[in-house]
Structure 1
Amino acid sequence: MDSTFWALVALIIFIGIIVYMKVPKVIARSLDERADRIRNELDEARRLREEAQQLLAEYQRKRKEAEKEAGEILTAAQREATALLQEAKQKTEDYVVRRNKLAEQKIAQAESEAINEVRSSAVEIAVAAAGRLIADKLDPKTAGELFKQSVDQVKTRLN
């Protein structure tokens, strides 16, 4: 009985003890549990990946909607700005037309007043000149009557 035989016997006893204590089942169960845990982790990772893809798709859709809405807002703002610009131009043109009409009316009124003043001055000068001429050539009583008649005639024509 040599040492190899005893080594073989010890190995058989050791294997027997291991089988008796159900170590292979424990190892198999441990490996199965680890495989299940890895499978569960893979399933969780797959589920998380799908959720991430769904979130990415949703955010891309929202981004496209936001870009579309921003484009619509920009277009509306441009339309509004154009409308406001046209309205401002129209109001400015109307204001200029009103101011021109007002200025023309003021000019016409000033012209009319100037003409009336010139007429009035001309009448006063003519009356004064006529009064002097008459005073120089006629007696004072007749001159006074002619002067009154002339003034009345001029007043009648002006009105």
Structure 2
Amino acid sequence: MRILSLIFAAGFATPALAASGPFFSLGNTDFVVLLAFLVFVGILVYFKVPSLIASKLDERSATIRSELDEARALREEAQSLLASYERKHKEVQGQADRIVDTARKEAVAAAEQAKKDLEVSIQRRLAAADDQIASAEAAAVKSVRDRAVAIAVAAAGDAIGTGMSKTDANALIDDSIQKIGEKLH
């Protein structure tokens, strides 16, 4: 039922039917609405609402401007901090590269020094081994000579003891003493 009344009211309540009669009469709704609007605007002007709205808009504009200035200042500060951090990052990266290069050079130098030290150590050990070999050779030669001398003395003693007379033995001893004396002087 309500729907029917709404359709019926919508069909008959048109602006053309509402504004009937002369324009400057209180029966004309357009005139009444115009008067109400002008009174409303007059009240707004009387209570200085447009200037209040303008002042509020100016305050809001000033607030927005200060916030924009603050945001601009913060942005500039952030950019300067970013630039500072980028400079520091480049400096630290440069220092790290220099440290790595220095470490590489020191490692290469240490490896070369270790190689030289190893060669020197090997040469010393070879020299010590050569000395030990020479000493062993000398000891072996001395041992062989001592053994040969002992065998020769024993053989000579046997030969002298069996087939030599006392005069020949004394002559041989004198001859040996003389040869030893010549070799010692």
Common fold, TM-score beyond 0.5? yes
For residues 8-55 of structure 1, the C-alpha deviation after alignment (integer angstroms, 9 at most, x for no partner) is 332232222212222112211121122112212211221122112111
Q: Specify the alignment match of 2:120 in structure 1.
A: 94
Which stretch has the larger CA shift, 18-27 or 93-102? 18-27
Which stretch has the larger CA shift, 1-10 or 104-113? 1-10
Q: Give structure 1 stretches of 5+ with no counterpart.
A: none
For residues 77-110 of structure 1, the C-alpha deviation after alignment (integer angstroms, 9 at most, x for no partner) is 1221121112111111110111111111111111
* In structure 2, distance between residues paired with 1:9 and 1:23: 19
* In structure 1, distance between residues paired with 2:79 and 2:42: 54
Q: Specify the alignment match of 2:21 in structure 1.
A: none
Cα root mean square deviation, aligned: 2.5
Q: Give structure 2 stretches of 5+ with no counterpart.
A: 1-24
- Calculate the TM-score normalised by the size of structure 1: 0.82
Matching residue's letter, 1:135:
G
Q: Specify the alignment match of 1:8 in structure 2.
A: 34
Matching residue's letter, 1:15:
V
1:107 alignment partner, one of 133, 138, 142:
133
* In structure 2, distance between residues paired with 1:138 and 1:130: 10
* In structure 1, distance between residues paired with 2:31 and 2:128: 135
* In structure 2, distance between residues paired with 1:137 and 1:10: 177
1:138 Cα shift? 4.2
Q: Specify the alignment match of 2:64 in structure 1.
A: 38
Matching residue's letter, 1:93:
E
* In structure 1, distance between residues paired with 2:34 and 2:89: 74
Matching residue's letter, 1:128:
A
* In structure 2, distance between residues paired with 1:138 and 1:38: 143
* In structure 2, distance between residues paired with 1:123 and 1:20: 152
Runs of 4+ in 1 over 4 A off after TM superposition: 156-159
- Calculate the TM-score normalised by the size of structure 2: 0.72
Identity %: 45
* In structure 1, distance between residues paired with 2:90 and 2:43: 69
Give the paired residue count.
152
Matching residue's letter, 1:116:
K
